[in-house]
Structure 1
Amino acid sequence: MEYKYNLAKLQSDKEKVEELIVRQTRRVGQVFPQKLEQEFWQKNVERARKHAEKYVWAGILAYFVFMMVMIPTDFWIVDKRFFEHDFALCLLGLIVGGLALLVFYFFSCLPRIKRYFSQASMVILFFTLVTISCLTMSIETVALQHQSMAIVTIIYILGNILTGIQPRLMLITGLLAASTTLVILMTFDFVFNTLVFGRILVGSCLLGYVISHMIFARERMMYLYTIRAKISEQIHRIHTTELLHLSQHDELTKISNRRTFDETLEIFFDRAKRAESALAILFIDVDFFKNYNDHYGHQKGDDVISTIAKSIKNAIRHMDFVARYGGEEFVVLLPETDAHGAYAVASNIFKAIERLEIPHEKSSVSRYVTISLGITVYRGENFMDKESLLGIADQALYRAKQLGRNQIYYQSIRSANSDNVIGF
Structure 2
Amino acid sequence: MESKYNLAKLQYDKEKIEELITRQSQRVGQVFPKKMEQEFWSKNLERARKHVEKYLWGGVLSYFIFILVILPSDYWVIDKQYFKHDFLNCSLGLANGALCLLVLFAFSHFPKLRPYFAQASMAIMFWAIVSTSWLTLTVDTIALRQQGLAILCMIYIVSSLITGVKPFHMLIAGLSAAFVTTILFFTLKVDFNVMVLGRILFGSCIFAYVISQMIFARERMIYLYSMRAKISEKMHRIHNSELLHLSQHDGLTKISNRRTFDEMMEVFYEQTRQEHCALAILFIDIDFFKNYNDFYGHQKGDDVISSIAKSIKNAIRHMDFVARYGGEEFVVLLPETDAHGAYAVASNIFKSIERLEIPHEKSSISDFITISLGITVYHGEAELSKEELLEIADQALYRAKNLGRNQIYYQSLRSYIPESELIKS
TM-score normalised by structure 1 residue count: 0.95
- State how far apart, in whole Å, the 2-side matches of 1:334 and 1:71 are: 81
The worse-fitting range, judged by mean Cα deviation, of 406-415 and 210-219 is 406-415
The reply to whether residue 373 of structure 1 matches residue 373 of structure 2 is yes
Question: How do 1:186-225 and structure 2 match up within 5 A?
Answer: 186-225=186-225
Deviation of 1:111 after TM superposition, in Å, equals 2.1
Question: How do 1:145-164 and structure 2 match up within 5 A?
Answer: 145-164=145-164
1:187-239 CA-to-partner distances (Å, cap 9, x unmatched) read 11122221221121110001111111111111111111111111111111112
Identity %: 68
Partner of 1:265 in structure 2? 265
Question: 2:392 is matched by which residue type in structure 1?
Answer: I
Deviation of 1:28 after TM superposition, in Å, equals 8.5
Deviation of 1:162 after TM superposition, in Å, equals 0.7
1:246-297 CA-to-partner distances (Å, cap 9, x unmatched) read 1111111111110111111122122222333322211111112122222222
- State how far apart, in whole Å, the 1-side matches of 2:378 and 2:325 are: 19
Question: How do 1:121-136 and structure 2 match up within 5 A?
Answer: 121-136=121-136
Deviation of 1:56 after TM superposition, in Å, equals 2.4
Q: In structure 2, the residue corresponding to 1:417 is in which secondary structure?
A: coil
The worse-fitting range, judged by mean Cα deviation, of 269-278 and 351-360 is 269-278
Contact 2:29–2:217, Cα closer than 8 Å, also in 1: no
The worse-fitting range, judged by mean Cα deviation, of 252-261 and 82-91 is 82-91
Partner of 2:237 in structure 1? 237
Question: How do 1:15-414 and structure 2 match up within 5 A?
Answer: 15-27=15-27, 30-414=30-414
TM-score normalised by structure 2 residue count: 0.95
Q: In structure 2, the residue corresponding to 1:42 is in which secondary structure?
A: helix
| Residue 300 to residue 71, structure 1, CA distance change in 2 (3 Å) | same
Question: 2:34 is matched by which residue type in structure 1?
Answer: Q
1:162-193 CA-to-partner distances (Å, cap 9, x unmatched) read 11111111111110100111111111112222
- State how far apart, in whole Å, the 1-side matches of 2:324 and 2:412 are: 23
- State how far apart, in whole Å, the 2-side matches of 1:95 and 1:192 are: 24
Deviation of 1:418 after TM superposition, in Å, equals 9.3
1:284-330 CA-to-partner distances (Å, cap 9, x unmatched) read 11112122222222222212111111110111122211110011100
CA RMSD of aligned residues (A): 1.8
The worse-fitting range, judged by mean Cα deviation, of 368-377 and 268-277 is 268-277
Q: In structure 1, the residue corresponding to 2:55 is in which secondary structure?
A: helix
- Runs of 5+ in structure 1 lacking a partner? none
1:366-411 CA-to-partner distances (Å, cap 9, x unmatched) read 1111111111222333332121121121122122222221111122
- State how far apart, in whole Å, the 2-side matches of 1:201 and 1:313 are: 76
- State how far apart, in whole Å, the 2-side matches of 1:83 and 1:342 are: 98
Question: 1:160 is matched by which residue type in structure 2?
Answer: S
- State how far apart, in whole Å, the 1-side matches of 2:113 and 2:28 are: 38
Question: 2:67 is matched by which residue type in structure 1?
Answer: M
The worse-fitting range, judged by mean Cα deviation, of 4-13 and 119-128 is 4-13
Deviation of 1:134 after TM superposition, in Å, equals 1.9
Deviation of 1:121 after TM superposition, in Å, equals 0.7
Contact 2:28–2:214, Cα closer than 8 Å, also in 1: no
- State how far apart, in whole Å, the 2-side matches of 1:334 and 1:281 are: 6
- State how far apart, in whole Å, the 2-side matches of 1:312 and 1:111 are: 55
- State how far apart, in whole Å, the 2-side matches of 1:237 and 1:174 are: 47
- State how far apart, in whole Å, the 1-side matches of 2:136 and 2:403 are: 108
Deviation of 1:340 after TM superposition, in Å, equals 2.1
- State how far apart, in whole Å, the 1-side matches of 2:395 and 2:137 are: 103
Partner of 2:11 in structure 1? 11
Q: In structure 2, the residue corresponding to 1:325 is in which secondary structure?
A: strand
- State how far apart, in whole Å, the 1-side matches of 2:131 and 2:28 are: 40
Deviation of 1:344 after TM superposition, in Å, equals 1.3
Aligned residues: 420
Q: In structure 2, the residue corresponding to 1:184 is in which secondary structure?
A: helix
- State how far apart, in whole Å, the 1-side matches of 2:347 and 2:154 are: 84
Question: 1:332 is matched by which residue type in structure 2?
Answer: V
Q: In structure 2, the residue corresponding to 1:322 is in which secondary structure?
A: strand
- State how far apart, in whole Å, the 2-side matches of 1:270 and 1:100 are: 66
Contact 2:28–2:217, Cα closer than 8 Å, also in 1: no
- State how far apart, in whole Å, the 1-side matches of 2:235 and 2:340 are: 47
Deviation of 1:72 after TM superposition, in Å, equals 2.1
Question: 1:359 is matched by which residue type in structure 2?
Answer: P
- Runs of 5+ in structure 2 lacking a partner? none
